[in-house]
Amino acid sequence: MTSFSYAANPVRVVFGSLHDVGDEADRLGLGRVLLVAGPRYGDRAARLLGPRLAARFEDAAMHTPVDVTERALKLVAEHDVDGVVAVGGGSATGLAKALALRTDLPQLIVPTTYAGSELTSVLGETADGRKTTQRSPKVRPEVVLYDVDLTLSLPVAVSAASGVNALAHAVEARYAPDANPMTDLLAAEAIRLLTDALPRIVADPSDVDARAAALRGAWLAGSCLDSVSMGLHHQLCHHLGGKFGLPHAETHAVLLPYVMAHLGVADANDVFELTASLPIPHSLAELGLTEDDIAGEPEAELLRQAVNGTRPTAPPSLKALTRQVVESFAGAPDRVRELLTDLVETLHGYAIRTDLTQEEWEYAIGFLTRTGQISSDTRQEFILLSDTLGVSSVVDVLTNSRTPDTTPSAVLGPFYVEGPPETPQGADLADGLPGTPLWTDVAVADTEGNPVPDAVVDVWQSNEDGFYDVQLPDVDGPVLRARFRTDDGGRLRFRTIVPSAYPIPADGPVGHMLETAGRHPYRAPHVHFMIAKPGYRTLITQLFVAGGEYLDSDTVFGVKDGLIVDFTERPGETGRRLEFTFRISGSSA
């Protein structure tokens, strides 16, 4: 089963009438409302709000200019407003969201177009010719009230453009990198409703059923887009809209089939045919752009086609390419075929969903090359990469969660060395190194509690400064690293020092990745153990110091609650003591 998470949109959605606006305002506890609406609907909404109306603002503008928001904010302050009611298209909705971002005022949105933005936590604002987009739960409206009658007088061209804008929300949700089965369902139904309704609205603008279907489609499209990250389509539209002052819905409508074709989405030609049949602009040139304007812009070839309005040319069928590669493994052994097929489909899907560029791919190849070049017998950068991406921990859980009665396992880490020296019990692993002394008294037992004698136990840890012996060229021979055998009672005793938190090696590609991502490189303090005996499953694990640093943010995601142990202080003793019983299972478990 594919794992995924989905958070239901908390907006209250009402399909009713503008006459319900007063009741919905009361439900929100609003007594002093700022009404954002043009004169077309503003007078009627003002009458229905009655004494709840504290102020009106009629100058909402496309792309939500910050200076317009600042003017509206003055009204909010002057009239002690406790909520915003917006009636209109995307401009009114955008202004309400911008006000909520700055004031946390509740919003009641009454859309009169098919934008769908009223269902999202996304806000785009423009200042100095640049549009920036952000997500915040503060801008998601509390209530959305749909009244199909308000859309009946919406001009056909505006209806079609805003409907394709909503369609773009649904399409983008389908290829978003964090799409999931629930958003797929919402998007598919939104696409079905909108592609059916828009031609009907063009043919008969008074078709109430078609306009109601378009509203439902816009609602679903906005809902699914709110649950995923925005991709190339919105990035381009917001960039061009803010830079050149292009109309929002029309820009989305023009670019949609071109972005779909660029990403290899199978329905690109169908969407192109749909938009070509609607009374909307069909090229960026109709919106005022020229090829000179897009010179140097990202995705210039895509935009060039959109400027000219020519049929979009898709790259070679990406699905066919993936299928061809998968079929090349037909003769491989079953498990090899399964692993390679899933790997190829996952990698191809990742490249398509993220619109991976040649430059990004070459950087990734270079990153992996550097990772291999820095690896050696004493440093395994690939393991470090696997650890910091959480892959090692995923494989660990998949491999070892089948034995729930045993001690939890943990990642091997990059500093294990095969064949450590066999050492008698009671030895001091620190060999005079500075640090807080630690007396270790552990036992190895089976899942029934019976001692496991003569088990081989490899132990390794870092020094007080966070370095393993293999990282220290001046260290002669293994230090803080040994191989023991349990005694007849399954016991093992040795001395060492209390481990401390330490950074993983940060001078290589993995360290650069963490720095770029804003992540710290630290591991929680721990001691490594590997326990093996014929007839038993080998246990690779770590014991973490209770109360130690980074337990909740270990950079390799290796901490498990069952491995956090008290390194206790004993009255009259200098240092600490570690006591623990490891439980291992038979190899057939």
CATH topology of domain 156-315: Dehydroquinate synthase-like, alpha domain (1.20.1090)
Catalytic residue among 348, 481, 528, 583: 528
Residues of the chain falling short of pLDDT 70: 1-4, 314-318, 401-403, 588-589
Given the structure tokens 């089939």, which residue do they identify? 257
Helix (H, G, I), strand (E, B) or coil at 281: coil
Q: For residue 243, what pLDDT is reported?
A: 86
pLDDT at 1: 42
- Rounded (5°) CA angle 193-195-200: 90
> So what's the pLDDT on residue 322?
83
Q: Please report which helix (H) or strand (E) contains residue 522, including its range.
A: strand 522-523
- Record the tokens describing residue 584, joined without a space: 């291992």
pLDDT score at 2: 55
pLDDT value for 320: 73
Query: Which entry of 252, 262, 526, 576 is annotated as an active-site residue?
Result: 526
**Locate tokens 């003793």: which residue?**
573
Is 502 one of the annotated active-site residues of the chain?
A: yes
Which is it for the CA torsion 301, 306, 310, 313, positive or negative?
Answer: positive
Domain chopping of the chain, boundaries: 11-151, 156-315, 318-353, 391-584
Bridge partners of 582? 444
- From 361, 25, 363, select the one nearest 35 (Cα to Cα): 25
Classified as helix, coil or strand, 424 is coil
Per the annotation, the verdict on 258 as an active-site residue is no
Identity of the residue numbered 481: R
What is the spatial distance between Cα 120 and Cα 221, in angstroms, rounded to a whole number?
10
Fold of the 391-584 domain: Protocatechuate 3,4-Dioxygenase, subunit A (2.60.130)
Cβ neighbours around 304 below 10 Å, total? 16
Tokens of 201: 């609205």
- Catalytic: which of 41, 175, 258, 502? 502
Joined tokens for residue 93: 């909705």
The catalytic position among 140, 238, 282, 523 is 523
What ranges in 440-526 are assigned the alpha helix state H?
509-517
550 is catalytic: no
Say if CB 116 and CB 140 are below 8 A apart: no
Are the C-beta atoms of residues 542 and 392 closer than 8 Å to each other? no
Q: What is the C-alpha to C-alpha distance for residues 130 and 249, in angstroms, rounded to an integer?
A: 18
From the list 41, 175, 468, 536, the catalytic residue is 468
C-alpha 399 chain-centroid distance: 26
What does the alpha-carbon distance between residue 398 and residue 393 come to, in Å, rounded to a whole number? 9
Fold of 11-151: Rossmann fold (3.40.50)
Give the residue ranges of DSSP H helices in 155-247: 156-175, 181-203, 208-226, 232-244
Alpha carbon 361 to its chain centroid, in Å, reads: 20
Structure tokens at 496: 């060492």
